[in-house]
Amino acid sequence: MHLGARCDRVPALVVVCAVLTGSRSGQLVFLAVVAAYFTKLKWPDLQQPTAPKDVAAKALSAISSIGCPSCHLDQLQGDGTTARLAGQQREYLQKTMIEFRDRTRGNNPGMSDLMKAISPDDITAIAEYLAGLQFLVGSGWTR
């Protein structure tokens, strides 16, 4: 029997089908399953060093001038479709903020405008500061 026909009738096959057939509804179910899986994982401690005081001060000044917590929440732990920042990989944070700034990353023009309002030096300090934060929902600050 043709796999596409089975995909509509056998719910247990829907994830496999999504990958094999690329049907839109199958893909959405696949993404929901993957999202549910990642949501349940505990945020890892990547053992990144806490930023030195001068770097933290520079970062906090830029963070408060822009008001990042108004969207990314008080502990910068994110929520829903607003990304978590605390404890993210430093290299990733740096790269993606620079990409927002030069609009290489174009999926959120609002974030690009905000990154334009701060300097690349601020971005470097923010990336180092955020990487060193380790806030776990349910446990609070662990370091």
Binding footprint of ligand HEC on the chain (CB under 6 A): 62-63, 66-68, 70-72, 81-83, 85, 93, 96-97, 107-108, 110-111, 114, 126
140 in the Ramachandran plot: left (φ > 0), alpha (ψ -120 to 50) or beta?
Answer: left
DSSP 41-102: SPPP---PPPPPHHHHHHHHHHHHHHTTHHHH-TTS--BTTBPP-TT--HHHHHHHHHHHHT
For the CB of residue 119, give the shortest distance to ligand HEC in the complex, in Å: 11
Count of C-beta atoms within a 10 Å radius of residue 108:
14
Count of C-beta atoms within a 10 Å radius of residue 129:
25
Cβ(100)–Cβ(116) below 8 Å: no
| Residue found by looking up tokens 């404890």 in the block | 87
For the CB of residue 22, give the shortest distance to ligand HEC in the complex, in Å: 23
For the CB of residue 81, give the shortest distance to ligand HEC in the complex, in Å: 6
The nearer residue to ligand HEC, 21 or 108, going by C-beta atoms, is: 108
The nearer residue to ligand HEC, 65 or 139, going by C-beta atoms, is: 65
The nearer residue to ligand HEC, 7 or 96, going by C-beta atoms, is: 96
For the CB of residue 52, give the shortest distance to ligand HEC in the complex, in Å: 18
The nearer residue to ligand HEC, 51 or 85, going by C-beta atoms, is: 85
